[in-house]
Amino acid sequence: MLITTSKNKKKTYVGYTNNLDQRLKKHNSNKGAKSTKGYKWRVIFIKKFYKKTNAMSYEYKLKKDRRKRIEIIENTKYKLC
């Protein structure tokens, strides 16, 4: 899970990838997903899966469950400004 580094607007992004560094660079250079454009991002949560289908299933659930995303934010060392 990613979160914006902007102090003005806090957004989260959930996605799966097999190359996190490359994906983060794309998001931060405005070449990633449409919803990530215009923001700088940092990783706050990583979960590894052995099967792509399991990763996609977890991604879907996390995207739909706003409370779970908030819980992840609160349980990380990252603090919202």
Read off the pLDDT of residues 9-46 as tens digits, 9 standing for 90 and up: 788 899 999 999 999 999 999 887 888 888 899 999 99
Q: Can you give the residue range of the structural domain that contains 66?
A: 2-74
Number of domains in the chain: 1
Dist. CA 23–CA 21, nearest whole Å: 5
Dist. CA 81–CA 77, nearest whole Å: 12
**Average pLDDT estimate for 39-66:** 93
pLDDT of 65 > 80? The answer is yes
pLDDT the model gives residue 57: 96
pLDDT the model gives residue 21: 94
Residue 80 lies in a domain: no
pLDDT the model gives residue 75: 83
The helix (H) or strand (E) run that includes residue 42 is strand 41-43
Q: Which pTM value belongs to this model? A: 0.79
